[in-house]
A and B are shown apart, each in its own frame.
Chain A
């Protein structure tokens, strides 16, 4: 076996995360949910919009986390599934007059199917090769959306403009606030379902594959099935995020879903902590707010400042926000013991 093959085959791509550390404790969860519920009451509409975007990206990062943190497969192609979800919702809303909430499960199902189908050939690839294959998917997607044949539905290079939904039942809240709570409910449902998925038999099977594929198959885990399933679930959830993103931004265009988005989602996962689902929202906040902070320092060098911040984070917190959470948890425990 050549040295390269050894490197490729022997390194475990993702560090093992024990199951009990995948989710937050009950108290912490309640505090986070309360904060998320109360925040829009004091924030401006614009800030609510930003928080909505954070939640939407958090769903997409969570989806990637299930794939990478859960089943140990890499993907740089999440932007493609995000785009398919966004376009599905947009086309259903604008061309067929479907209610925005109903488009989400449809987008999710379409993306699940796409992800599952893509997962079949991806089975033969692992590690960096899989990353490359998904990368190709991400670069191809904007061009596919521009294709002449689909132009009637996709609007081609001009994209599609979507009408933003009003709050239902005459509720006295702005469109932004309604959409925020709507997204919050969707993301909580997805979060709880994901945590349960990873704690279930299927989740254990995925993690077994992540930790050691040969051992897993020896134990009777159907490796092919769970790997493609992980791809499908991840793509489906990303598709829901894409649909929500389209509704929040009110516009879809090929330029919204470039490889930049896929890399941003990947960054969000690393910063949040690979395999730690609550980290998704921290990672999402990072990809929404840190570019703005970098821009404050210097317009011409915003990319460089962003890079420096990123390097610092990886250097100081290699496990992302999970590391902070654990440190805080330890302090709380120590305090509790003393008291």
Chain B
């Protein structure tokens, strides 16, 4: 099959190819959809580089650096990745505009790891109608695992709800008669955790959950909420907060001399940005769950796989803060995309990208905890669905227990 250079020919080739895929005829030759060629694979991405969530922009920068590294190593099956990343300032209307720009103007093969539940919800219908893969979205909502209604959208990280259910299982096992208080952020993130927790308790929620306390992300301090919760005297405190508030909560409970069982969301389980500011003395015994390695936890310093991450940051992101867990996240997500594209071989159609993304078997990026593997299938669009419980001890997290699979079933 000759290589098409002109746009019109390439377009007609794409039509022919998708027709071929539709009728089930197998071509042994190279197959391309818009955005892929003999020399290049165009991948789109949307990140909040500006605005209230701009800290997450580091994920986009990490991915850009990772693909630069892959290109330096010769690319994927000889093709370079052209990573086009736009800013949506965490605004859904802007995300729609940028997604359309990526698909219709830049003509990317797939949109990879766009960040934020609102932004992804805004572009999901459009991308599915256009049959453009919305790969490995950077949000912990559970709704991305819905291959029946949205066959072109796939998640990546464990969902907040499944994480919450792991905590509930743990509480029911350790303290079956506990009085539970839940502190959560009043947004999609906090409410997903709340729902997962209440679903996990089921009928027992009424008797066991004695308080659901919400705070706004705009509040300067949440001390007042902690004092209020302490007055109710619960023995388990679930802390579904972003890092700043996580540190405040741990510090305040210690100041009040209150010692409930504290379970902290994985989002805030950073040694450098939460446990240290909260005070190591105050943090002893706090529980959480994890799927990725914490860059500020010294136990991974000599881990041979994590050394790859260190080498990558040193070479491709000099000056970047290694305590930023977004750099770990971006590395893992980018590695997953590279694995999918490698498996696509010379069949770089959108349908095949989706097919390969939905048939990953035991893939282990360098940054995931030992034993946690990425698995997907045509009915399971939740790539990472395992977590391990951990307890804070000394100056680091102590992993304990088995790796728990929290596979949420796909939506009907």
Could you tell me which A residues sit within 8 Å of B by CB distance? 44-47, 49-50, 53, 139, 143, 146, 156-159, 161, 245, 249-251, 253-256, 258, 260-261, 288, 291, 295, 299-300, 302-303
Q: Which of B83-91, B154-162, B348-356 contacts the other chain?
A: B83-91
Please pick, from B60, B87, B125, B216, the residue contacting A291 in the complex, using a CB distance under 8 A. B87
Q: Is the CB of B92 within 8 A of A256?
A: yes
A152 to B193: give the CA distance in the assembly, Å. 19
A291 contact set on B, CB distance < 8 A: 50, 87, 89, 94
A53 touching B97, Cβ below 8 Å: yes
Contacting residue for B86 out of A159, A288, A295, CB 8 A: A295
Q: Which residue of A lies closest to B51 (CB)?
A: A260
Q: Which A residues lie within 8 Å of B216 (CB)?
A: 143
Q: What does the 1/0 interface line of B138-160 toward A look like (CB < 8 Å)? A: 00000100000000000000000
B contact residues around A260 at 8 Å (CB): 51-52, 89, 91
Q: Is B398 an interface residue (CB 8 A)?
A: no
When A44-B105, A300-B49 are in contact, do A250 and B125 touch as well, CB less than 8 Å?
yes
B93 cross-chain contacts in A, Cβ below 8 A:
53, 245, 249, 251, 256
Measured CB to CB, the nearest residue on chain A to B218 is A139
Q: Which residues of A contact B122 (CB under 8 A)?
A: 159, 249-251, 253, 256
Q: Across the interface, which residues of A come within 8 angstroms of B125, CB to CB?
A: 161, 250-251
CB distance from A263 to the nearest CB of B (A): 11
A295:B121 contact, CB within 8 angstroms: no
* Residues B169-222 near A (CB distance < 8 A): 186-188, 191, 216, 218
Complex Cα spacing A157 to B188, Å:
5
A157-B49 CB under 8 A given contacts A46-B104, A49-B100, A255-B91? no
How many Å lie between the Cα of A114 and that of B60 in the bound state? 41
Q: A residues within 8 A CB of B49?
A: 295, 299-300, 302
Partner pick for B85 among A159, A254, A299, CB 8 A cutoff: A299
Chain A residues in 8 Å Cβ range of B342: none
Minimum CB distance partner of B124 in chain A: A161
Provide the residues of chain A in CB contact with B186, threshold 8 Å: 143, 146
Bound CA–CA A254/B85 (angstroms): 24
Most buried by A among B91, B105, B216: B91
Bound-state CA distance A250–B123 (Å) is 9
Known: A45-B104, A146-B186, A159-B118. A50 touches B92 (CB 8 A): no
Q: Quick one: which of A157, A158, A255, A302 contacts B50, CB cutoff 8 A?
A: A302
A residues less than 8 Å from B4 (CB atoms) = none
**Could you tell me which residues of chain B, from 51 to 75, have a CB within 8 Å of some CB in chain A?**
51-52, 57, 60-61
B5 to chain A, nearest CB (A): 21
Would you give the shortest CB distance from B255 to chain A, in whole angstroms? 28
Q: What's the nearest-Cβ distance from chain A to residue B71, in Å?
A: 18
Counted as pairs of residues, one from A and one from B, with CB atoms less than 8 Å apart, the total is 95
Measured CB to CB, the closest approach of chain B to A244, in angstroms, equals 12
CB < 8 Å neighbour of B57 from A44, A161, A299: A299
For the complex formed, measure the closest distance between the CB of B55 and the CB atoms of chain A, giving whole angstroms.
12
Tell me the bound Cα distance from A300 to B61 in angstroms: 9
Q: How far is the CB of B101 from chain A (nearest CB, A)?
A: 6
Which secondary structure characterizes the binding site on chain A? helix
Tell me which of A44, A251, A299, A303 contacts B121 (CB under 8 A): A251
What are 20 residue pairs bridging A and B, where the CB atoms are less than 8 Å apart in the complex? Answer: A46-B104, A49-B97, A53-B97, A157-B118, A157-B191, A249-B96, A250-B96, A251-B121, A253-B121, A255-B118, A256-B118, A258-B91, A260-B89, A291-B87, A291-B89, A295-B49, A295-B87, A299-B60, A299-B85, A299-B87
Quote the shortest CB–CB distance from B85 to chain A (angstroms). 7
Q: Which residues of B contact A249 (CB under 8 A)?
A: 92-93, 96, 122
Interface: B19 (CB within 8 A): no
Contact in complex: A251, B96 (CB < 8 Å)? yes
C-alpha gap A161/B218 in the complex (Å): 26
Determine how close the nearest CB of chain A comes to the CB of B297; give it in whole angstroms. 27
Q: In whole Å, how far is A157's beta carbon from the nearest beta carbon of chain B?
A: 4
Across the interface, do A251 and B101 meet the contact criterion of CB distance under 8 Å?
no
Q: Can you name 18 extra interface pairs (CB under 8 A) apart from A45-B100, A158-B143, A256-B92?
A: A45-B104, A143-B186, A158-B117, A159-B118, A245-B93, A249-B93, A250-B96, A250-B122, A250-B126, A251-B125, A258-B91, A261-B91, A288-B97, A291-B87, A295-B86, A299-B61, A299-B87, A303-B50
Determine if A253 and B92 form an interchain contact, defined as CB atoms under 8 angstroms apart: yes
**CB-nearest residue of chain B to A245:** B93
Give the complex CA separation of A245 and B97 in angstroms.
12
* CA of A197 to CA of B57, assembled, Å: 46
B105 near A46: Cβ-Cβ < 8 Å: yes
A277 to B50, CA, bound (A): 30
Measured CB to CB, the closest approach of chain B to A306, in angstroms, equals: 8
A255-B92 contact in complex given A159-B121, A249-B122, C-beta closer than 8 Å: yes
In the assembled complex, the CB of B225 is this many whole angstroms from the nearest CB of chain A, namely: 16
Q: How far is the CA of A288 from the CA of B52 in the complex (A)?
A: 18
Q: Are A161 and B101 in contact (CB under 8 A)?
A: no
User: What separation, in Å, do the CA atoms of A302 and B88 have in the docked complex?
Assistant: 11
Q: Please, how many angstroms separate the alpha-carbon atoms of A77 and B50 in the complex?
A: 22
What CA separation (Å) do A237 and B122 show in the bound complex? Answer: 24
Q: How far is the CA of A44 from the CA of B101 in the complex (A)?
A: 10
How many Å from the CB of A51 to the closest CB on chain B? 11
Q: How far is the CB of B46 from chain A (nearest CB, A)?
A: 11
Of B49, B60, B86, B103, most A-chain CB atoms within 10 Å: B49
Are A253 and B118 interface neighbours, CB within 8 A?
A: yes
* Complex Cα gap A291–B85 (Å): 14
| Interchain CA distance A128-B60 in the complex, whole Å | 39
Residues of B within 8 A of A250 (CB): 96, 122, 125-126
CA gap between A161 and B143 in the complex, in Å:
14
Q: Which residue of A lies closest to B143 (CB)?
A: A158
In the bound complex, residues from chain A placing their C-beta under 8 Å from that of B218 are: 139
Q: How far is the CA of A253 from the CA of B143 in the complex (A)?
A: 16
A-B pairs with lowest CB-CB distance, top 9? A46-B104, A157-B188, A251-B122, A253-B118, A255-B118, A249-B93, A46-B100, A256-B92, A303-B50
CA distance A214 to B218 in the complex (A): 40
A254 and B189 CA atoms in complex are apart in Å by 13
